[in-house]
Amino acid sequence: MKYEHIVTGTFLSRPNRFIAHVEIDGRDVVCHVKNTGRCRELLIPGVRVVLEYHPDAALTGRKTEYDVIAVYKGGLLINMDSQAPNKAAWEWVHTNPGAVLGPFDRIEAIRREVTHGDSRFDLAFTLSCAGVEKENADSGIQAFMEVKGVTLEENGMVMFPDAPTERGVKHLHGLVKARQEGYEAYVLFVIQMGGVHGFKPNDTTHPAFGQALRAAAAAGVHVLARDCAVSPGSMDIGNPVPVILD
């Protein structure tokens, strides 16, 4: 996925979840933060941030001309746009279907925001085998995928969540239920940076999420983690990252 009209600035402050003050060309500019999470370990006064400029902001009724989309943590560029993982996952599933096929050899009917039971999952698709006729009602199996963006990194290890997420626990329970009903189920952790060596649940911040993730894996939910190739103007899902659940 790509951005347009990229500029850089210096982060000054974040008075609330939605806006930040950023110095751009010597000016203090109010910018929209495309991540309502805490991001306290990232948005530190003085760090360099990447912004997407919207030249048509006034015409479209936007309150701000800039979105904060990425931040430099030392030499590591981390995308912090909370909308980016879903967009990148949509592109990734289309272009790299083999990464999720498992025993199947065909992926079809990829859809966004699909409701099953009391859960709404980010992606859904049909998995099938090429040797089975499409006309057969049993030719494919429905699959659901929940996508989680990961921005918390410590010494090359990344963790999720960075704050308690009851919604995240609910999604995992929904995937387990779908799996028990005979569907395929996936949770994809999109690590919004490169150069990491492992992923694990953040049991310190939210023990219940870690417990739910381990239970989901034990129930047959596929737990995937992928890093990303991040540049100031793009983010694309890359290589698999080891998932550590023990």
Taken in order 224, 201, 43, 31, the sign of the CA dihedral is positive
Q: Tokens at residue 47, please? A: 């760090």
pLDDT confidence of residue 153: 95
Architecture, CATH, for domain 84-240: 3-Layer(aba) Sandwich (3.40)
pLDDT confidence of residue 89: 96
Return the number of other C-beta atoms located less than 10 Å from residue 216's C-beta: 25
**For residues 44 and 41, what is the distance between their CA atoms, to the nearest angstrom?**
7
Q: Tokens at residue 64, please? A: 């701000």
Q: Tokens at residue 8, please? A: 């850089």
Q: Is the bond into 161 cis (omega within 30 degrees of 0)?
A: yes
- Centroid of chain to Cα 216: 18
**For residues 78 and 29, what is the distance between their CA atoms, to the nearest angstrom?**
21
Q: pLDDT (tens digit, 9 = 90+) per residue, 134-143? A: 444 456 899 9
**For residues 67 and 219, what is the distance between their CA atoms, to the nearest angstrom?**
39
Q: What is the domain partition of the chain in residue ranges? A: 6-79, 84-240
**For residues 151 and 35, what is the distance between their CA atoms, to the nearest angstrom?**
10
Per-block mean pLDDT, blocks of 10 residues, the chain (246 long): 96 95 96 89 96 92 94 96 96 88 86 94 90 54 96 95 93 97 96 97 96 98 97 96 95
Is residue 95 classed as helix, strand or coil in its secondary structure?
A: helix
Residue 143 is given by DSSP the state: E
Where are the alpha helices (H) located in 132-190, listed in sequence order?
A: 166-180
Residue 218 is given by DSSP the state: H
Q: Tokens at residue 118, please? A: 């009391």
CA-nearest of 114, 143, 144, 113 to 128 is: 143
Residue 34 is given by DSSP the state: S
pLDDT confidence of residue 105: 82
Q: Which CATH class is domain 6-79?
A: mainly beta
